[in-house]
Structure 1
C-alpha cells in the first residue's frame, strides 16, 4: 500500500520537471520532450520497452482514433498550416501594408494600437483558439508600426482569449461549463436555477478573468512594463527590435499597389466561414435551433477548417488581383508564398504536438485527480473552499497545461464538497473559482495550447511570451485570491467585486506615484 501511495505521488514529478526545465533552458521543445519521457517512465514504472511503446502510441493516438483520422488534433494542425499560407499571401498581396497605412490615419499612438488589439480580442469571444489566431493577424501590422514588442502583443492576445471565452455564455466554452454545472445544481437543491442563469451568476465571480482583463487595460494605459516585459519593450522602443528573428517569417515580396481589402476580406471570410461552420455542425449534431444547444454541439475544428479554406482562397484571389500586372511577380513567387506560409508554422506545430502528448501522458498519470483528491480530503472551513479550490485549479492547470482538464476534474469535486458540507450558497463561487484557476494556469503554463497559439499568432518567441506574461498573471491571481476569500466568508459577490476594484485602484495609484515608464533614448 505504501509503495502504491509513494508511486502515486511520483505522478507530480514529470510536470514539475517539465516546468523547471522550461524556466532553466527556455527550450520548450526540449522540456516537453523530457516531460514526455519522464511521464512515460512513471506510467510504465521504468520498463524501457513499454516506455517507448507508450510514447509511440500516444503520438499515434493524436493522429488516429478508433481506426480513423483524429479530426480534433489533425484539423487544428491543418488549420495552422492554412493560416500560415493565408498570412503569407495577405502580406504578398500588399493587404497588410495597405491596412496599416489606413489604420495609421485612425490610430495615432502605441497606446491606441494596443487598445485596438485588446478590444478586437474581446469582440472575437466565440472561441479562445479563434481569438488567439485572428486578433494578432489584424493587429500585428499596426503594433509593428508603433514599435510594440511582439511579447506585449502576445500578452494582450492571450489575455483576451481564454479569459473572455470563459465568461461568455455564447461561446464554445459556455455551453460545456453549463453542462458540467447542471447536475450539481440539482444535487445541491438549486433546481430553480437553470444552468444558463447559473453561468450568468458566475461571470462576476470569475475574479481572475475579470482581473486579468482590467489589469491588461491598466498596463496599456499606464505603460506598466515590468521584469521581462520591460526589457522587451525597451528593445522595441529604443532599438526597434520587436521580436527574436528566429520566430519571424522569411522576407516576402510585397505588391506595391494594393488595398486594405486584401487583408480585411480574407479575414472576414475566415470569420464568417467559422461561424457558419459552427452553426451548421451544431444544428446537424443536435437537430435543434436553440443557440445554446448549437454551441454545445458544434465542431469547432471542422468549422476552423471550413473558415481556413475560405480565407486561403480569398487571400489567393486578392494576391493574383494585385500582382498579375506586376512584372516583379512570377509563378515562382506563388510557390514561395505557399512554402513560406507552411514553414512559418512548422515550429509551432511541433511544439503543439509535443504539448498535446505531454498533456495526455500527465492526464494518464492522474496528476489532476491527485490534486483534486487532496482538496476533497482536507478538513478545512467551508469559508476557505473557494480560495483553496482556486489555488488547486491554478496548480493543476499550470502542471497539466489544460484548463479544460481542470474543469472536468475539479468542478464535480468542488461541487460535491459543497453539497456534502451543505453550504449551497458557496456552490457557484467554488465552481467559478475552478474556472478562474484553470485560466490562470493556462496563462502561465508553457505547455498550454492556447498560450502556444497566442505566441505563434503574435510572432513572439513562446518562452519569452510565457515569462513576460507570468508577472501580470500573478498580480491578477493575488487580487483574485483575496476576492475569493472575501466571498467565502461573506457569500457576497458584490463585496468581492468591490475588493477587487479597490485593489486595482490602489495598484493604479501606486503605478502613477512610483513607476517610471520606458522613455525613448534621445
Structure 2
C-alpha cells in the first residue's frame, strides 16, 4: 500500500473512531454520576448528577424520582445538576437508575474512627522522638495510605499512590491557599527585616534602650509580656514581632528560648481572643451568627460576644499565670529544667569565652552605629501599618456614620470585616523597604550588603515554613477524613446535663484544636454544631429563655477558650510553630515546656471557672478566685532558679 494511502486510512480511523464509540454509548446509555474522591462511613456524602452530561428526556422535567439502592429519592432539578446526600455505612454496591439510564459502583467507605490516626500518629511521634519533620510526614503518609487502601485493589498501588498524594495533592493544596501563601510571605519578610535591622545595628540599639527597663531576668520577661499584650490586634503579628524583637534581650539576660517562646505564644492568641478590636472578631461573629440563625435568637452576634467575654477564663488566667511566673521568679516541670540548663550553658560559655552560635548571629561589626530607630521605625511600621491596613480593608462608611453605634463598636465592626492577610503583607513589605532605606540613606550598609542580609533573612525562615506547609497538609487530611466529626460524635453522643455542657465543650474544643492544629478551624466546626445543641438541651431540661441564654453565653466562651488551649498544646499548630520560629527555639522543646503550663491553666479554667459559672456563680467572683489559685500554684509548686 502506498505511504500516502496508509496515512489517509489512519486519518479516517482516528476521525471516525470517537464517533463509533459515541454511537455505541448511545445504544446503551450510562448515567453520569459524580461521587467524592474520599467517602467516609457515617458521614453524609454528596452525590451529584450533572445535567450537561445526561441529555435524556427527564432533564426537561421539574423533578424526578431517583432509584438509589431500591430507595426512592425525590431529586429536584437545579440549574446545572441534581444533588442529594446519602450516608454509607459499610461496603455496598450503590446503584442509580433514572428511566433508561443507570449507574452502578461498589463503594467501600473509610470507617470514621480511622480519621483520628493521622494527627494522633504525628503528635505522638513529635512528642516522643522530638523530631517534627518526620512526625508530620509519617502522619501525612498514614492518612493518605488509609485513604488509598480503601480505593485501590492492590496494597502496592495504594502504597505508591499514598506517597505521591502527599506532594501532588496535599502539599500543593496547602500552598494553593492564598491565606497560607500570605503567612509564608509575611514570615519571610519579617525574617528579612529582622536580619537587616540586626546587621545595620538597629536591633542592638533597641537592646541598649530596652536594657534600661530590662536589666534583669524578671524585668526582661515582664517587658516581653507587656509587649505581647500591647500588640493585641493580631496573633501572627504579635508572635513574630515580639519574639524577634525580644530574643536578643532575653539572650543577654540569660532567659531560656523555651521561656521566651512560651511568653510569646501565650500572650498572642489569648489577648487577641479577648480584645474587642482584633482580627478574630469578624470570623467569630460570623460563626456566632450562623448558629443564631438556626435557633432564631434576636440578639446580635456582637452583643453575644460582649456577654461571653467575662467567662473566657482560659485567656484571662493564662495572661495572669505568666505574670505570676515572672514576678515570683519561679517555674516548675520541664520549663524549670530548661531554665536551669540555659543558665548552666551560658555560664560555661562565659567561662570558656565561646559564645553560642545564636549569639554569634546577632553580633555586628564594631564600626556600625547602634541607633535604635533603625529598628524601631520598621517595627513601628509593622505594628501600626497592620492596624491601618485592617481599618483600610474593612472600612464601611455605613457603619462609621451610624450614630447609634459607639466608637469602639464601629472600630470592632470595621476590623472584624477586614482582610488581615493583606494588612500583614502591606505592613511587612513597607517595613522591609523602610529598613533598606535607613541602611542605605545613612551609608551603614551598601546595596549588595543590604540585599545579602535580606536573602539571609529569607533563609532563616525556611525550616519553619517547611513545618508550616506540612502542618497545613496534615490539617487538610484531617478535614477530608472528618476527624473533628469523629471527636465530636464520640464526646457529645451521651445525654449530658446543661450545666456540664460548657466544660465538656471546652474539653472537646481543646481536643479538636490539638488534633487539627487550628483554633479557627475548631471554631468553624463547633459554633454551628454546639450552640444550637446547647439551646435545645437547655430547653429540653426545662430551662426558660433567660437561663438558657446564660448557658449559651458560657458555651460561646468555652468553644473559643478551648480552641486556644488546644492550639497552645498542639505541635502541629501554626501559631505554636511561629512562636518557636520567632524565638529561635527548638519546636518540640517549646511544646514540651509549654504543655504542663497550658494544662494547669486549663484545669483551673474548668474547675474554678466554667463549672461554677454554669451554676450561676458570678465572673466577678470566679476570676479573682482563679487568680488566687494560680498564685498559690506558682508559689508552692514553683521553684526559683539558681542565681
Q: Same fold (TM over 0.5)?
A: yes
- Cα RMSD between the aligned structures? 2.5
Q: Over residues 323-371 of structure 1, what are the superposed CA-to-partner deviations in whole Å (9 max), with x where a residue is unaligned?
A: 44xxxx6555334312321111110111111111111111111011222
Query: Per the alignment, do residues 194 and 246 of structure 1 end up closer, same or farther by CA in structure 2, a change over 3 Å counting?
Result: farther
Aligned with 1:113: secondary structure?
A: helix
Aligned with 2:330: secondary structure?
A: coil
2:389 aligned with 1:277, yes or no?
yes
Q: Write out aligned runs for 1:111-190 (5 A).
A: 111-185=218-292, 187-188=294-295, 190=297
Query: Per the alignment, do residues 152 and 303 of structure 1 end up closer, same or farther by CA in structure 2, a change over 3 Å counting?
Result: same
CA distance in 2, matches of 1:169, 1:209: 14
Query: Per the alignment, do residues 236 and 383 of structure 1 end up closer, same or farther by CA in structure 2, a change over 3 Å counting?
Result: same
Q: Write out aligned runs for 1:1-12 (5 A).
A: 1=89, 7-12=111-116
Query: Per the alignment, do residues 331 and 238 of structure 1 end up closer, same or farther by CA in structure 2, a change over 3 Å counting?
Result: same
Q: How many angstroms does 1:160 deviate by? A: 0.8
Aligned with 1:160: secondary structure?
A: helix
2:377 aligned with 1:265, yes or no?
yes
The answer for the alignment partner of 1:410 in structure 2 is 526
Q: Over residues 262-296 of structure 1, what are the superposed CA-to-partner deviations in whole Å (9 max), with x where a residue is unaligned?
A: 11101111223222322222238x98645344323
Query: TM-score by structure 1 length?
Result: 0.90
Q: Write out aligned runs for 1:6-405 (5 A).
A: 7-45=111-149, 47-55=158-166, 56-64=168-176, 70-185=177-292, 187-188=294-295, 190-191=297-298, 193-240=299-346, 250=361, 253-254=364-365, 256-283=368-395, 289=400, 290-324=410-444, 333-405=449-521
CA distance in 2, matches of 1:247, 1:108: 20
Q: How many angstroms does 1:186 deviate by? A: 5.2
Contact 2:173 / 2:473 at 8 angstroms: preserved in 1?
Answer: no
Aligned with 1:158: secondary structure?
A: helix
CA distance in 1, matches of 2:295, 2:357: 53
Q: 503, 525, 549: which one pairs with 1:424? A: 549
Contact 2:110 / 2:147 at 8 angstroms: preserved in 1?
Answer: no
CA distance in 2, matches of 1:467, 1:247: 21
Q: How many angstroms does 1:305 deviate by? A: 1.3
Q: 466, 481, 485: which one pairs with 2:611? A: 485
CA distance in 1, matches of 2:622, 2:370: 51
Contact 2:248 / 2:362 at 8 angstroms: preserved in 1?
Answer: no
CA distance in 2, matches of 1:486, 1:77: 42
Aligned with 1:438: secondary structure?
A: helix
CA distance in 1, matches of 2:300, 2:235: 25
CA distance in 2, matches of 1:438, 1:242: 41
Query: Per the alignment, do residues 251 and 430 of structure 1 end up closer, same or farther by CA in structure 2, a change over 3 Å counting?
Result: closer
CA distance in 2, matches of 1:183, 1:74: 28
Q: How many angstroms does 1:123 deviate by? A: 1.4
Query: Per the alignment, do residues 407 and 513 of structure 1 end up closer, same or farther by CA in structure 2, a change over 3 Å counting?
Result: closer
Q: How many angstroms does 1:230 deviate by? A: 1.1
Q: Which structure carries more strand by proportion?
A: 2
CA distance in 2, matches of 1:320, 1:108: 32
Contact 1:154 / 1:458 at 8 angstroms: preserved in 2?
Answer: yes
More displaced 10-residue stretch of structure 1: 35-44 or 467-476: 35-44
Query: Per the alignment, do residues 118 and 514 of structure 1 end up closer, same or farther by CA in structure 2, a change over 3 Å counting?
Result: closer
Aligned residues: 506
The answer for the alignment partner of 1:447 in structure 2 is 572
Q: How many angstroms does 1:81 deviate by? A: 1.2
More displaced 10-residue stretch of structure 1: 175-184 or 27-36: 175-184
Aligned with 1:283: secondary structure?
A: coil
Instruction: Give the structure, 1 or 2, with the largest relative contact order (CA under 8 Å, sep 6 or more).
Output: 1
CA distance in 1, matches of 2:356, 2:136: 23
2:642 aligned with 1:519, yes or no?
yes
Query: TM-score by structure 2 length?
Result: 0.74
Point out where structure 1 has 5 or more consecutive residues left out of the alignment.
65-69
The answer for the alignment partner of 1:505 in structure 2 is 628
Contact 2:213 / 2:219 at 8 angstroms: preserved in 1?
Answer: no
More displaced 10-residue stretch of structure 1: 267-276 or 92-101: 267-276
Point out where structure 2 has 5 or more consecutive residues left out of the alignment.
1-88, 92-107, 151-157, 350-354, 401-409, 540-547
Q: 593, 603, 607: which one pairs with 1:468? A: 593
